Amino acid sequence: MHEWAIAEAILTSATQIAEQEKLKEVTEITIKGGELQQVEPPILRFVLSQMKSDIFKNAKFHILKAKPTLKGRVCGPTWQFNLKKLDKTTAEATHFVPEVAHTYIKYPQVEDAIGNTAKLLNTTVGKKIQQIADSVILAKKRDP
């Protein structure tokens, strides 16, 4: 439940700004979080209500989701991230450590190339390559 850590960071930042601006009360905070963070707004709202200090006692928290745009590191293409396209394991990994999403999420054209490779494996040549690979693996298992 990383919402606790996120809420703490939000309130710490908001408190610092309120002190700099010499505010006596903060009545509204708008939070915009990326989809990669996979924050559950009701949970975050609850956590904020439990952690808030007196300066935020009447504050309303508006939580908005931002659609992240990802950028390829090598050739620089950009694309819209879509959480629904991730398998459960990848979604879970990026939920806990979104900073490493780049190790799990590939540029869509790379995914297309992988799909084309899978199509090749369904051809006669691809099946022969797979049989050879299976034979090598089986032979290695037999070696003491």
Mean pLDDT of 93-104: 68
**pTM (2 decimals)?**
0.59
Distance CA 79, CA 16 (A): 35
41-51 and 3-20 helices cross at what angle (nearest 10)?
Answer: 50
Residue 36: CB atoms within 10 Å? 19
Distance CA 129, CA 121 (A): 8
Distance CA 63, CA 42 (A): 9
- pLDDT value at residue 87: 77
pLDDT bin (cut points 50, 70, 90) of residue 117 is: very low
